[in-house]
Amino acid sequence: MADVAQTTSDEDQTSADADQTVSDADQTASDSDQAQSESDGRAADRDQAAADRDLHVDAADAELAAYRRSREERVIAAHERDTATMIRLRAATERDGQATHRDAIAAQRDVAADARDQLADALDREATASAAAATPSQDSDIRRALADAGAARGNAAADRHRAARDRDRAAGDRGRAARDREQANLELRAAHIDELTGAYLRGMGEMLLQHEIDRAARTTEPLVVAFVDVDGLKEVNDRLGHAAGDQLLRSVAGALTSGLRPYDPLVRMGGDEFVCALADTQLEEARRRLDEISDSIEDGSFASGLTLTKPEDTVASVVERCDAQMRRSRASAAP
């Protein structure tokens, strides 16, 4: 009996600790939501300030100064939106962790409920055994044992109810984490993906390219960077209109995306210029793949320049080498 009582006491402490863990997790989630909201609010305020400033400029000097301030405000606002997106991604990870904690807490509560039921059974057995030979003076002890058994079963039911609630909260945490990730991915796409071609925009794209260059320097694996220039975009725009030019860009970008591996970043650097990185690939293999991709495009083509990266490279240095190599290839192919 003493062992069962001690187990129940331990489970009471575990349950109290679990409640504190749940409370801490809820506070963490609340803090993340507040930080995200504040970052979004600051970004919106900066955008509004920039827009208001753009509407209230008179003299040329004032207009130039206002333009510069507006541009700075928008850059900061973009950074704050990126920060809010990162907070959402971190919140999703935290909520997944909270869901795991809540499921573990629910399991602990079920263990506590089992211990309480065991105590209730032991008390019932003790009361039943004592009742047969009980004297009138012992009736109160028997009633107390039966009352304790009833209380233990009531506590066990409460533990199981809290366990069910914890599991419901865990499911809610996972649902919110999924929504956080979905929202963050949408924001990342809106902020960093070119809507026309599906390639990365230059800002985020250069960060990804530099990451690949740095990784290749650390691992000493070969990395090929390719500069791609779409053939005849200006002529298509002039002759057939910009809708046809957009279709040409989509065709080239689509062929590149299909021909490259999912983890090979494709970046739109300018109107008709793209850069991609092919990890763990030798130069000849990369050149063959780019040629196959170009040949697969029915309504367009592109020229490309490729280079193997060096440990000291930056995005600017590899793009410069690729561009020079592409121009030499075009010059040698010209009639």
Q: In the prediction, which pLDDT does 285 show? A: 96
**Would the pLDDT of 177 be above 90?**
no
* Average of per-residue pLDDT across 280-297: 94
Mean per-residue pLDDT over the chain, rounded: 78
Last residue of a domain, one of 192, 218, 244: 192
Rounded-to-integer distance, Cα 114 and Cα 133, Å: 30
Are 212 and 258 found together in one domain?
Answer: yes
Inside any domain, residue 220: yes
In a domain, 71, yes or no: yes
In the chain the first and final C-alpha atoms are separated, in Å, by: 100
Question: Does 19 score more than 70 pLDDT?
Answer: no
Q: What is the count of structural domains for the chain? A: 2
Residue 1 has pLDDT above 50, yes or no: no
The more confident residue out of 280 and 60 is 280
Residue 132 counted as domain residue: yes
Cα distances (angstroms) measured from residue 57 to each of 34, 63, 74, 329:
35, 5, 17, 49
Q: Which of 170, 192, 214 is the last residue of a domain?
A: 192
Q: Does 249 lie in the same domain as 182? A: no
Which position has the higher pLDDT, 335 or 133?
A: 335
Query: Would you say 4 and 116 are in contact if contact means Cβ atoms under 8 Å apart?
Result: no
Looking at the predicted structure, is the pLDDT value of residue 262 above 80?
yes
Q: For residue 153, what pLDDT is reported? A: 81
Tally of CB atoms within 10 A around 67: 14
pLDDT for position 244? 93
**Same structural domain, 176 and 245:** no
pLDDT score of 286:
96
Asked whether residue 163 falls in the same domain as residue 295, the answer is no
Last residue of a domain, one of 133, 158, 192: 192
Question: Could you tell me if residue 315 is inside a domain?
Answer: yes
Closest CA to 198 of 252, 133, 136: 252
Read off the pLDDT of residues 37-81 as tens digits, 9 standing for 90 and up: 665 666 566 556 555 655 554 455 556 666 567 666 666 666 666
Residue 224 placed within a domain: yes
Q: Judge whether residue 241 has pLDDT over 60.
A: yes
**Residue 158 sits in the same domain as residue 11:** yes
State whether 91 and 164 are in the same domain.
yes
Considering the domain boundaries, does residue 39 fall inside one?
yes
187 or 168, which is more confident? 168
> Is 81 found in the same domain as 36?
yes
Q: Kindly state the average pLDDT of the residues 179-188.
A: 72
220 and 73 share one domain: no
Range of the domain at 41: 2-192
Mean pLDDT for 282-286 is 96
- Residue 212: CATH number of its domain: 3.30.70.270
Residues 76 and 19 in one domain: yes
Which DSSP helix (H) or strand (E) runs through 192? helix 139-192
pLDDT the model gives residue 26: 58
pLDDT one-digit tens code per residue, 198-236: 999 998 889 889 989 999 999 999 999 999 999 999 999
Which residue is it, tokens 């990804």?
208
Q: How does residue 132 score in pLDDT terms, banded at 50, 70 and 90?
A: low
Which range is least confidently modeled, 2-11, 86-95, 165-174?
Answer: 2-11
C-alpha span between 296 and 261 (Å, rounded): 16
The answer to whether position 297 is within a domain reads yes
Same domain? For 174 and 209 the reply is no
Q: Answer yes or no: do 188 and 206 share one domain.
A: no
| Phi (first) and psi of residue 266, to 5 degrees | -120, 125
Q: So what's the pLDDT on residue 274?
A: 97
Q: Are residues 302 and 226 part of one domain?
A: yes
Q: Is residue 197 part of a domain?
A: no
Asked whether the predicted pLDDT for residue 4 surpasses 50, the reply is no
